[in-house]
């Protein structure tokens, strides 16, 4: 690819005490690309992306975002750089409505009496939220209801609309279709494509290989903390990827000498 990577991870290591959760992983993500991060439970996928999103500080290695090395010590620092992450548990505020979630921590206020009164500009936030959702062709009947009353797919749409509205430069999604029904899974995949079509690269963690093959450009497989392969989607298939996920294939292993 001719363009510069949006994200370069170099020789990343993350230890928890004696456990090496991420072991010397390097990885590039280019503009407008969907990169799937695959691996069995405990492979280190979530830990790797949490190093990028500011949840964990890496033990070693480098993270280069848009050409500059970054050291995030809190998730808000990553968000301020345009790295939006949807974690396995989603992290929306259940009791707030849809605009309340899109503008969470970044609420827009009106100003009266020279700033003496600063009520929230709910009308503005509602209109902006509605247009962000419309631009993604996401249908949510009413925005002024608590998020907890929405379906799983609608909640994903809200999280993605938040990323679009705040002009995310990189979207990270950790198992976004877990616990969703099939029609909703398809909607989330459409949302991922909509992000990609806007040039926003996506790192997608998923266990569902058919959906990974349907939406990704490149696949990266981790096994026990290490990256064991990286393939273009057209150069591999589910059977081969499973072999890498279970550790039967490993591109980093030196071949056994021929006797």
Ligand X SMILES: Nc1ncnc2c1ncn2[C@@H]1O[C@H](COP(=O)(O)OP(=O)(O)O)[C@@H](O)[C@H]1O
Q: Express the helix, strand and coil content of the chain in percent, nearest 5 each.
A: 35, 25, 40
Residues 221 and 231: their CA atoms lie apart, in Å, by: 9
Q: Does 41 bind ligand X (CB under 6 A)?
A: yes
Give min distance, CB of 180 to Mg ion, in A.
16
Of positions 8, 23, 46, 216, contacts ligand X by CB under 6 A: 46
47's contact among Mg ion, ligand X, none, with CB below 5 to 8 A by partner kind, is ligand X
Residue linked to tokens 């990256």: 227
112's contact among ligand X, Mg ion, none, with CB below 5 to 8 A by partner kind, is none
Q: Does 47 bind ligand X (CB under 6 A)?
A: yes
Q: Does 44 bind ligand X (CB under 6 A)?
A: yes
Write the CB contacts of 127 (distance below 8 Å, at least 6 apart in sequence): none
Give min distance, CB of 66 to ligand X, in A.
25
Give min distance, CB of 97 to ligand X, in A.
31
Write the CB contacts of 17 (distance below 8 Å, at least 6 apart in sequence): none
16's contact among ligand X, Mg ion, none, with CB below 5 to 8 A by partner kind, is ligand X
**Chain centre to alpha carbon of residue 168:** 10
**Please, which of residues 10-29 interact with ligand X by CB under 6 A?**
16, 19, 21
**Please, which of residues 158-197 interact with ligand X by CB under 6 A?**
none
Residues 37 and 42: their CA atoms lie apart, in Å, by: 13
Residue 122 in tokens: 């709910």
| Site of interaction with ligand X (CB under 6 A) | 16, 19, 21, 39, 41-47
């Amino acid at each position: 690819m001719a363009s510069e990577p949006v994200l370069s991870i170099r020789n990343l290591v993350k230890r928890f005490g004696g456990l090496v959760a991420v072991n010397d992983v390097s990885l590039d993500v280019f503009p407008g690309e969907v990169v799937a991060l695959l691996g069995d439970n405990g492979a280190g996928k979530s830990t790797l992306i949490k190093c990028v999103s500011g949840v964990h500080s890496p033990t070693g290695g480098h993270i280069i975002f848009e050409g500059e090395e970054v050291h995030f010590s809190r998730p808000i620092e990553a968000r301020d750089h345009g790295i939006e992450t949807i974690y396995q548990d989603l992290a929306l505020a259940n009791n707030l409505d849809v605009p309340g979630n899109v503008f969470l921590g970044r609420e827009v206020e009106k100003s009266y009496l020279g700033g003496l009164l600063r009520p929230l500009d709910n009308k503005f936030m509602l209109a902006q939220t509605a247009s962000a959702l419309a631009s993604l062709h996401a249908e949510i009947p009413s925005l002024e209801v608590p998020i907890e009353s929405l379906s799983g797919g609608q909640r994903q749409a809200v999280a993605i609309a938040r990323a679009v509205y705040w002009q995310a430069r990189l979207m990270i999604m950790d198992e976004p279709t877990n616990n969703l029904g099939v029609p909703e899974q398809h909607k989330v995949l459409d949302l991922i494509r909509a992000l990609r079509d806007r040039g926003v690269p996506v790192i997608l963690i998923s266990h569902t290989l058919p959906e990974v093959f349907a939406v990704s450009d490149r696949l990266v497989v981790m096994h026990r903390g290490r990256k064991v392969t990286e393939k273009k989607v057209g150069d591999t298939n589910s059977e081969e990827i499973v072999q890498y996920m279970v550790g039967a294939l490993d591109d980093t292993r030196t071949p056994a000498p021929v006797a």
